[in-house]
Amino acid sequence: MKEEQQQQPTSPESDHQHERKTMEKFWGATVETWNSATFRANQYKRIVQKKIDLTSLHKKISTAHADLGKKIDDLYQNGNDNVMEHPDVMNMLKGLGSMRQAAAGLEEEIVKIKNEEPPEDEMQPPTGGNA
C-alpha cells in the first residue's frame, strides 16, 4: 500500500505542462477581471454623461416653464382673452412636450445602461512560440 501512495517522479515535460496550464488559468482570470472592470468603468461613464444631459434638460424645462408663465401673463395683461390658443403659447407648449419626451428617453437609456451585462469575452491567453 505504501508503494502505491508514494508519488511517481514527474518529468520536466509534465512540470512544464502543469506550469503552462496554471499560467493560462491565471491569464484567463486576469483578462476576465480586466474586462469586467473596464466594462463597469465605461458603463459608469455613460450613465454619468446621460445624467448630466438629463440635468441640463431639466434646467431647460424649468426655464421654459418660467418663460411660458411670463408669456401667458403678458398676453393676459394685454387683454388677450384666449391666451392658451395664442400661437406663441402653443409653440412653447409643444417645445415643452418635446423636452419632456427627450427627458423620458434619457431616463430609459440610463435604465438600459444600468441593466447591461458585460459581454462574454472571447480573448484567449497568449500562446508563446517557446512551448
Phi and psi torsions of 122, nearest 5°: -105, 10
Instruction: Determine how many CB atoms are found less than 10 A away from the CB of residue 26.
Output: 11
C-alpha cell at 98: 418635446
pLDDT score of 78: 94
Helices (H) and strands (E) in the chain — how many of each? 3, 0
Where residue 107 falls among pLDDT bands split at 50, 70, 90? very high
Where residue 96 falls among pLDDT bands split at 50, 70, 90? very high
Over residues 74-80, the mean pLDDT reads 94
Q: How high does pLDDT run on average in the chain?
A: 85
pLDDT score of 51: 97
pLDDT at residue 131 is higher than 50: no
pLDDT at residue 16 is higher than 70: yes
pLDDT at residue 124 is higher than 60: no
CA 88/CA 68 separation, integer angstroms: 9
49-69, pLDDT tens digit by residue?
999 999 999 999 999 999 999
CA 28/CA 121 separation, integer angstroms: 10
User: Which of 119, 107, 117, 118 is CA-nearest to residue 47?
Assistant: 107
